[in-house]
Amino acid sequence: MPNGVAKRDLPSKICPACERPFTWRKKWARDWDAVVYCSDACRKKR
């Protein structure tokens, strides 16, 4: 059996800049609640 969680079961949010959904990434594990934008480009655009 594979380890981990299926991609469809990961939490997701909507980016307020581009209004596209983005899913949880391992590098955001500690501060997922503080993540607002899907990328640096969207963060700078807003």
Give kind and range of the element (H or E) at residue 23: strand 21-23
3-state secondary structure of 22: strand
**Closest Cα to residue 46, out of 1, 38, 32, 33?**
38
pLDDT tier, 42 (very low <50, low <70, confident <90, very high otherwise): very high
d(CA 12, CA 16): 13
Report the pLDDT value the prediction gives residue 2, as an integer from 0 to 100: 64
CA-to-CA dists, residue 4 to 1, 20, 22, 29, 43, angstroms: 10, 25, 19, 14, 29
**pLDDT tens across 2-39, in order?**
678 898 899 999 999 999 999 999 999 999 999 999 99
